[in-house]
Structures are given as structure tokens and as C-alpha cells.
Structure 1
Amino acid sequence: MELKIATWNIRGANTIDKQNEVRNLIQKEHLCMCAVLETHLKTKTVTDVSNYMFGNWEWISNVDYSPSSCRMVIGWDPNKVRVMVVHMAKQVTRCLVETVVDRSKMFCSFVYANNNGNERRMLWSDLYGHKLISRSHPWVLLGDFNVILKVHEHSAGGSYMTKDMIEFQDCVNKLEVEDICKSGFQFTWTKSLKNPNCDVLKKLDRVMANEDFIKQFGSAHAVFLPYLISDHSPSILTIPEGLVFKPKAFRFMNYTADKDDFIPVVEKGWQLEVIGHHMYRVVRKLKALKKNLNKLNWKNGNVFSRVVDLKEKLSQIQASVDSNPFNKELKADAVKILEEYKVACSDELKVLKKKVRLKWLMDGDKNSKYFHSVLKARKNKSRVESICNDQG
């Protein structure tokens, strides 16, 4: 499974349009972590806006380091990654990111550098401190560095290196990191999106990683997407092997036991010839049976989608019967679809009951919003974060 981390200098998250763009980016790219830079949010608004942008995700901000205008907000999906803040400053936030599935770890430094070269020197110093802490651990730096690294990273080019560029190059050399962006936009910042005569473009945003990160996540790569409504391009870091897939335990949906095909499927699976110890034979048969039971579960497609589709078909055919009450074929089809709809509703309710595990739930009471909140609560409650012995 892929692990995706994004940074985007949205240049003000006070408008609903930009907040929705962040939400769309998270959903479309299937992100598990996202840093929104240059939010311009005040202390009193950062909570409401962050909750809207990230939904059920957890998040942090460095508004305490810049209360007049929050510089960055970082959100993550707690079902996929755990995040611990190691160091936070005005221009950078360093996090230890651990995957929930296989507990692999890496350091992430999210950067929003100051426009002033003198202020950026504090950032270079902080990043060098991050390198000393990382040592032999995977480390990646993402964000807006507000200075180009090479002359050709300006659309107009140039004939000499500025003092700010030289300081940035010295910092990158000391950090021993390299750019891992292989595709997407060449220039990540534009001076103006609205002025058709503007041709000033620069590469101010970067995704860089140390040697240990590249060794552990050899297939990791970054891409810069179109600007959309910001003057900065969002960056997406993709780690293909970031979330290792683990086989799930033997489970099947209870409602399939009421189907006519259930007993024949189980009987056929149990006739499988397996040589070995009794327990080994049982495990092998269950493993083979799991696939067939999943096929039975998905025989008619997604349970919830089937309810919606059959309800629509039932409404349409009942309207046709109303217009042509003497058509026996239409009536027969209406009866058939009605029975299928009732079965699908029953299956849906059984699935929801099993997921939520509420014995007192009344038949027909789906409470969709409540169901989802209970499901999430149960999932988080059953997760084991850590185990300690007597010595802690």
C-alpha cells in the first residue's frame, strides 16, 4: 500500500474555496498526511478551519510561534500513521512519522522558510540540528524554501549566484540530502496567476531526502502538481512500500450464511485434500475457503450500492406500473424487484449490525451518521499503541 505525504503553500486558508481545495487534494490523492503552509490563520480561527480541512484527521499547528498569522498546519490520518512532534519553530516543524501497519519510522521536516535571507539563517541552523538527530535514520524535507538552489531554476535564468543561493547550497551540502522529485512542474512558484504577461517562475518548493531514506524507500518519488488557485504548486511524496500489506484473519459476513449457495460453498471447500497435522489441515482449508466466501459476499456487488440501485429501479418500475396498470409483465417485474430490494435491505442491516456489534439496535434503524462514528470509535479503541513491562 502507498504512503502519500503532501505539502502545499496555499497562501491563505481563510476562504472556503481554498479550504475545499485542500480537502479535494486529500481525497483525490488518498493522502495520509498533509502540511498546509502560509495559512494566514489567526489563533481564534485555526481550530475551526483545520477541523474543516482535515475532517476526522488529527492535526497540529505552529500558531504559537506566529500568533498573528499561522505559518503551517499539519494533518494526518491516525488510522495509517502516528505522528510525534520532535521540534517546532517558526519556519520548520520536525515530526517522527510511524506507520500503523508495520511500524516503520522516518523523520519528516516540514519547511516554510522566511522571505528574508537573514531570517532563513535560523532555518538552516535548525535543519542542521535535525540532521544531527536523524543520524542513520530515514529523513525527508518537504516544503517552501523561498530561495532557488541553482541559476536555471529561475525562468529568466541568471549569470551569477546570489548570497542567499550560496547559503542555501551550503546548507544542502551540510545536510547531505538530495532532491527526489522526478516529475511534475519544473517551476513550483509563479509571481502571478492572473496576469497573462507575467513570466516570472521559480522553483521554491522542494522534496529532499537523506541517503538512509533513499536506501530504505528506494521507490519513493515526488511530483509537483498544477498550481490551481495558489501561486505555489502542491508537492506529493509517494512511498510505494510505505504501508506493508498484512493478510487479514479469517472472517466472513454473517448474512452470507442465509444464502442458498453458502452450504455448497463450504462443503466444496472442506473437501479439499490436505496432508499434515489436524490443525494444519483446518488452517489450510479455512484459508482456501476464505476466498470463495468473499466471492459469495461480492456476488451481487457492494451491498450498500445495491440497496441504492434497487431502490431507484423500484421507484421507476412502480411509476411505470402506475402509468400502465394493466401490464402484467411490468407488475411481475415490480414484484421481483421489490423482493430483491427487501433482501438487499436485510443484508445491509445485517452487515451494519455486525460492524457496530450493537445487540439492542432496532430493526430498520440504520442511523448512518451514528453508525460511522461508532465504527471509528471501536476501531481506535481496539488498536494497541504500545506494550510495557514492569520496568516501563
Structure 2
Amino acid sequence: MSFAAWNVRGLNSPEKQTEIRKLINEHSLHLLAILETKIQEANVTAVHMKIAPSWKLFHNYPHSPLGRIWILYNPKVLTVHRMSDGAQHIHCSVTSIDDQKHFYISVVYAYNTALQRRRLWSDMVVLASLMCQSPWSIMGDFNIMRHFRETFGGSGRWNSGIIEFNECIHSAELSDLRYSVIRFTWTNKSPGVANITRKLDRGFYVMICGHPHFLFPAVVMKLKMLKCKLKQLNNKEFSDLSNRVLAAKDELQKCQVRLDDDPSNEGKARVNWLKDGDQNTLFFLKTFNNKCNRKKISRLTLASREITDSILVIKDEALRFFQAILGNNTGPYFGSSPLMKTIASPSLSPLLLISLASHLWRTSNSVSSL
């Protein structure tokens, strides 16, 4: 079944009537909503017979003298009953004759002002509460956009009409149908910078999971194909997890045993260094950075039990520590000797300072034991 809605902005011209016939034939439509016909009620039958003489027609002339909304449908394919109507909408019950699928369609042609549209939004929310067990489609010209990305040109000021429209959609729990090919459906036809285009025509739907007709054949087929792929993925990647965990633990233990029993691993690392280490490669840079980080003193616990990461504080603390040990000794290596003055130089890094001081300490102990 195929349905469509079109704001024709006048249906009196023969050219526009020809376009309607082409639209029905080219898209094999079974129901067509025509908005803003501007047809006098006295001329309805004549125009109807020119467009689709074998189809039936609903309209809302009792609420609008120019027939704002027409609904044409093929009675050989559909059974359609008018449920309610107003100046801005017609709500119908639709049943497919072939398979007896039942659903609802509401055709909307909203007024131009936010104040006039409030009655329509209220009616849609009420209808939504009645459609809780049936599929429902809403289509037409809502005369308001949902977001500023649906407009080009004109004022960028946010207005209450957009807010009220989105509140209605949220309250009625409607889902917006995606557009294809054409985004903007209306233009003021002004040239240059004065041109304004907007998306005012759209469709919504409400699909109920508990309804027997909720899953259409195409959707069912896609879900079945997805289910098959998910089963294959589960069997390949996630089946027999307990045994996979045990196998992984066993492999980890074997690797640890091999590393412990094979002291040649260090030799292999040296072979890699001789092969790639002197070529300014990524391997060289990673090795250099690892060695720098391994020999770097980035944090130190002071005598006060405070932890510091300041390079200057670490250096001063190391200097004080070894001066307390070596400063009172005598001899060519201690006290005010050139080497001790070098250790006290502010240009030394904390690591080099501690290394030199440790060497002096070991030398001191050796001299003392002689």
C-alpha cells in the first residue's frame, strides 16, 4: 500500500490536475491527501471526476469553505472510514481489503499562526491516547518546522511555535519519518538573499509492538538475517567461555615458565639492540625513553615523611643527606675538595648527584677500613 500527501496550493488549473494523475500512476498510490485545493464546494465533483473518477473522496468543507483537505482513495484496495475531522485535520480508519490489515491515518493542514495551531496540537495528543493499540500515521503540512536546520534564510529567532510543536510530538510519542531527496518543502520564491526555504511538510508514525501488524514483512526478513549473523558471531567469539579462560590461563603459565627457564631472552634483547638500536628507529626511541624513565627520580620521600616531585627539592635533599655523611671527612675526596664542589654544583641532575655521592660514600668506607 502506498500513500502520499501534497500541498498543491491550488487545484483549479488543468496542469495541476494532470500532475495529480501522474503522481497517482507513477507511484502506484492507493490513497492521496491533497491540501490547499482552493476549489469551491460547487466544483468539487467536476474536479474529482477529472483526477480520479473511480476513487472515493473525503473533504472538510463543513469546516473550511475552500476545502483545505481532500482525501482520495482506491475503494478496490482500501476500506476507509472518517473518524473525526476539523478545519486542520481529517482522521480516518483504514483497512486493507486483501489482507485485512488495519491502521489509522490522520491528514493535517495546520493554520499559519501558533495560536491557531494549538487546537490541532491538542487534538493530536487526544488522538494519540486513543491509538495505543493500533498503528497510526500522520502526514501533511504542519506549517511549522521542528529545528532551525530545517530552514534556510529568514529570521533565526527561536519562537514559541517551534517549542509547542515539539512538545506535541513528545506528548503524543510520535516518530518523525526520514525524508529522502528533498529536505525543504516550501519556499517564498523570493530571489537572492530574500529567499526563504523551510521544511513544513512531513510525516509521523506510531508503531505498537503488541499489535499483530507491527512487524512488516521487510522488517521481519531483515531481523531474521540479523539474527543469523548474530548467532554466527556468538558461536565464533563468545561460545565456551569457561574453557577459553582455562586455556588462556594455561598458556600464560607456560609463557612464564619459559621466560624463567630461558636466560637467553636477555641475549635476544641484545641481538635486537645490535640490529635496530643504532638506526634512529622507533625501536631505538622506545628503548631510549625506557632507559631514561627507569633511571629517573621523579618522587622522593623527605625526612618529614612528605612526598615531593619537585626536581629542585629532590636535589637539595640528596645534597643535604650526603653532606651529613661526607662533609666532616678529610682527604682529597671529601669536604671542600673539587669533587665535592662539583657535587654541590646547581647544574647536576638529582640522579647524577646521588650517583656521585654514593660513589664517595663507598670510597669513604673503603678508606676507613684500611
Give me the TM-score of the superposition, normalised by structure 1.
Answer: 0.52
CA contact (8 A) 1:152 1:158 kept: no
More helix by share: 2
Are 1:107 and 2:115 matched, yes or no? no
Q: CA separation in 1, counterparts of 2:34 and 2:159?
A: 28
Seen in structure 2, the aligned counterparts of structure 1 residues 52 and 240 have a Cα distance that, compared at 3 Å, is farther
Within 5 Å, which residues of 2 pair with 1:194-273? 195=191, 199-212=195-208, 216=213
5 Å-filtered alignment, 1:28-67, equals: 28-67=26-65
| 3-state secondary structure, aligned to 1:207 | strand
1:161 Cα deviation from its structure 2 partner = 2.5
For 1:84 and 1:174, the matched residues in 2 are separated by: 26
The alpha-carbon distance between structure 1 residues 182 and 42, as it changes in their structure 2 partners (threshold 3 A), is closer
Deviations 1:238-283 (A, max 9, x none): x999xxxxxxxxxxxxxxxxxxxxxxxxxxxxxxxxxxxxxxxxxx
With over 3 angstroms needed to count, the CA separation of the structure-2 counterparts of 1:5 and 1:39, relative to structure 1, is same
Q: Distance in 2 between matches of 1:195 and 1:26?
A: 32
Question: C-alpha separation between the residues in 1 aligned to 2:19 and 2:11?
Answer: 10
| Cα shift at 1:22 | 0.7
* CA distances 1:147-188 after superposition (whole Å, capped 9, x unpaired): 001111111386553110001010000110111224221111
Of the structure 1 ranges 6-15 and 175-184, higher mean CA displacement relative to structure 2 is found in 175-184
Specify whether residues 49 and 176 from structure 1 end up closer, same or farther in structure 2 by C-alpha distance, changes over 3 A only: same
Distance 1:98 1:60 in 2: 16
String of CA shifts for 1:88-136, please: whole Å, max 9, x gaps: 1110000011001010011100000001211111111111121122112
**Is the contact between residue 92 and residue 109 of structure 1 (CA under 8 Å) also seen in structure 2?**
yes
**Equivalent residues of 2:38, 2:68 under 8 A apart:** yes
Pick the structure with greater CA Rg: 2
1: CA distance, partners of 2:15 / 2:219 = 31
1:97 aligns with 2:74: no
The letter of the residue matching 1:206 is R
Q: 1:103 to 1:28 in 2, by over 3 A?
A: same
Letter in 2 for 1:104: K
SS in 2 for 1:63: coil
Mapped partners of 1:157, 1:219: distance in 2: 41
Q: Write the mapping of 1:21-32 to structure 2, written as runs, cut at 5 A.
A: 21-32=19-30
State the partner residue of 1:124. Answer: 121
Question: Deviation at 1:60?
Answer: 1.1
Higher relative contact order, structure no. (Cα contacts within 8 Å, ≥ 6 residues apart): 1
Are the structure 2 counterparts of residues 149 and 43 from structure 1 closer, same or farther at C-alpha, using a change threshold of 3 Å?
Answer: same
For residue 189 of structure 1, what is the amino acid of its counterpart? W
**Are residues 75 and 149 of structure 1, via their aligned partners in 2, closer, same or farther at CA, if it must alter by over 3 Å?**
same
Aligned CA-pair RMSD: 2.4
Unpaired runs of at least 5, structure 1: 221-238, 242-392
User: Percent identity among equivalent residues?
Assistant: 31
Q: Secondary structure of 2:106's partner?
A: strand
Residue 51 of structure 1: how far off its partner (Å):
2.3
Residue correspondences, number: 219
SS at match of 2:38: strand
Match of 2:15 in 1: 17
Matches within 5 A, 1:309-348: none
Local SS of the residue matching 2:124: helix
Q: CA–CA distance in 1 between the matches of 2:32 and 2:145?
A: 23
Corresponding residue for residue 318 of structure 2 = none
Q: CA separation of 1:112/1:30 partners in 2, compared to 1, >3 Å: closer, same or farther? A: same
Q: Secondary structure at the match of 2:127?
A: helix
The 5 A counterparts of 1:171-186 are: 171-186=168-183
Looking at structure 2, the residues matched to 197 and 182 of structure 1 have their Cα atoms a distance apart, in angstroms, of 26
Cα distance, 1:172–1:70 mapped onto 2, change above 3 Å = same
